[in-house]
């Protein structure tokens, strides 16, 4: 008679296998329905916002499009779900969206207790303060007693309280969930200060302020805010697909492959370029994708620098720490090989 422990072990392994199959289901589900459901901001210029024709554009939107290009060979196969800061995590956890690309800060709490996997960073940021020029405030240290507009459910809200407490200052919070409403409150003078990530301050000043020159962003950056896309825990294959789609955009810029030059890459004698475009090797198969997955991303969406220049540069953004590591910045992709 066989050892019953052996049977139990085999049964446990079988259960693990079934569980594993269920855990690996997002890519299959996305391919079956024919599009990527992407959670984005309700409207933040440069990151995710529909244009006058209803077409979504932005740095985060381009991550969604890159995933669609990798999975389907067609960057247009994305549907967008606009989410507030408080809605975003539930939408991802519940499966309402396949990926969250919504200027979201990577923190240990979100990475663990919220059950998210951040795939990387597509914008390095930090929290700042914007005030009307007429207040004649030059530093955040002068904000004692100020009324501050802030959105709930954000790292911004927590950082704000920490900063004022650490500097022995007081403030009066005006907490409003929807970005449109919090901006209306700030521009109407209901609060002295609007605080969020510096990227958000630059974006709303350039796109929403009636007179941008009447508002200044104070010099203090009070936090680290690495912003990046996230997927659910428990699905390594989908995690890999989204992660390497982002990395392919960064790597392409470093390799000087752009939407304008990618077609000529086939003639390159560089082995790394040949691997990247899928002419040699089987990297696509490793991801359960077509071997031209990275080529499709660059051809249809562009490299990271192209996305930055198209979406953020017109609003006054500079590359800064979001430049490639070879140019003094922090943008760095692991080797695609």
| Nearby residues of 334 by Cβ (< 8 Å), 6 or more positions away | 247
- What the block records as the tokens of 23 is 């855990």
pLDDT band at 266 (very low <50, low <70, confident <90, very high): confident
Report the candidate in 226, 229, 227 with the shortest Cα–Cα distance to residue 70. 229
List domains and CATH numbers for the chain: 22-124+227-319 (3.40.190.10), 127-223 (3.40.190.10)
Residue 3 clears pLDDT 70, i.e. is over it: no
- How much is the mean pLDDT over the chain? 92
Quickly list DSSP for 315-329: GT---GGGSBGGGTS
Report pTM.
0.87
Over the stretch 117-142, which tens digit does the pLDDT of each residue have? 999 999 999 999 999 999 999 999 99
Over the stretch 193-216, which tens digit does the pLDDT of each residue have? 999 999 999 999 999 999 999 999
d(CA 81, CA 78): 10
Query: Which residues on adjacent β-strands are paired with residue 225?
Result: 125
| C-alpha dihedral (127, 182, 212, 147), degrees to nearest 10 | -70
Neighbours of 56 (CB within 10 A): 21
Over the stretch 44-55, which tens digit does the pLDDT of each residue have? 999 999 999 999
Residues 246 and 234 sit within 8 Å (Cβ to Cβ): no
- What the block records as the tokens of 231 is 């997927």
d(CA 125, CA 318): 12
How far, CA to CA in Å, does 94 sit from each of 68, 165, 229? 21, 36, 16
| The pLDDT of residue 21 | 36
d(CA 95, CA 97): 5
Over the stretch 275-332, which tens digit does the pLDDT of each residue have? 999 999 999 999 999 999 999 999 999 999 999 999 999 998 999 999 999 999 999 9
Q: What sign for the dihedral angle of Cα 258, 264, 268, 274? A: positive
């Amino acid at each position: 008679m066989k050892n019953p422990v052996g049977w139990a072990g085999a049964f446990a392994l079988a259960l693990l296998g079934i569980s594993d199959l269920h855990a690996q289901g997002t890519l299959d589900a996305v391919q079956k329905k024919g599009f990527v459901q992407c959670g984005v901001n309700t409207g933040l210029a440069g990151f995710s916002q529909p244009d006058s024709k209803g077409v979504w554009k932005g740095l985060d939107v381009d991550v969604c499009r890159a995933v669609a290009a990798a999975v389907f060979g067609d960057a247009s196969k994305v549907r967008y779900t606009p989410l507030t800061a408080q809605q975003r995590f539930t939408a991802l956890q519940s499966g309402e969206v396949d990926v969250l690309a919504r200027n979201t800060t990577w923190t240990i709490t979100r990475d663990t207790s919220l059950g998210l996997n951040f795939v990387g960073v597509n914008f390095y940021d930090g929290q700042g303060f914007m005030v009307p020029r007429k207040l004649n405030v030059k530093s955040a240290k002068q904000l004692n007693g100020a009324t501050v507009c802030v959105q709930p459910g954000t790292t911004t809200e927590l950082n704000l309280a920490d900063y004022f407490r650490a500097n022995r200052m007081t403030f009066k919070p005006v907490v409003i969930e929807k970005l449109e409403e919090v901006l209306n409150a700030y521009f109407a003078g209901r609060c002295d200060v609007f605080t969020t990530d510096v990227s958000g301050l630059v974006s709303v000043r350039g796109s929403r302020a009636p007179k941008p020159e009447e508002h200044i962003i104070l010099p203090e950056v009070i936090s680290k805010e690495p912003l990046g896309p996230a997927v659910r825990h428990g699905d390594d294959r989908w995690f890999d697909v989204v992660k390497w789609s982002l990395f392919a955009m960064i790597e392409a810029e470093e390799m000087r492959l752009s939407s304008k030059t990618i077609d000529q890459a086939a003639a390159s004698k560089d082995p790394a370029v040949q691997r990247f475009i899928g002419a040699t090797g089987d990297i696509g198969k490793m991801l359960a994708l077509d071997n031209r997955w990275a080529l499709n991303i660059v051809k249809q969406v562009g490299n990271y620098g192209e996305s930055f220049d198209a979406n953020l540069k017109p609003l006054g953004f500079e590359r800064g720490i979001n430049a490639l590591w070879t140019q003094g910045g922090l943008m760095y992709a692991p080797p695609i090989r």
